[in-house]
Amino acid sequence: MNKYLVTGVAGFVGSTLSDALLEEGNVVIGIDDFSIGLRENILNLTKNKNFTLIETDISSKTFVDEMSSRSDFCDISGVFHLAALSRIPLTTRDPEKSHNINITGIFNILQLMRRNGIKKIVFSSSAAVYGSKNPPLQIETMVENCMNPYALGKFVGEQYIKTFC
């Protein structure tokens, strides 16, 4: 049995992933602020004794300290970082909110991992980092061409992870 942290747990991907992890007998700590995710997505999860929900904002200045003080943050095997402001029109209308969630959020997650000795992360990036100048079939060796705050946030997240590693 492993223990995983899943950010964006109330989104479709986060809730589906968490359900699969719990089915395998793992422990899941799910984080969401419900700004986009839906409570109905996690109804089944909350009935599982191996699931803990933490409703919080990963971009908060106090996030790392608050999470690090929790006893259930010991022995986490890895993080699935899915939390993001992912709707491009929203990120364009409110680039500051996009920055806070998508850039400060990943920075805080990486700080939390470092402080708690968590060595593994799966980061949900996006083909949006390559923009529209590249061919439709995109590969990671292409030159980035971030055309909106969402794409930039994903690109910066990738770079932060490389730097922290």
142 alpha-carbon distance from chain centroid: 24
Catalytic site includes residue 150: yes
CA dihedral 139, 125, 134, 146 (to 10 degrees): -150
Six-digit token string for 68: 């690090």
The residue from 4, 130, 150, 160 that is catalytic is 150
Helix/strand/coil percent split, the chain, to 5: 45, 15, 40
Residues classed as catalytic: 150
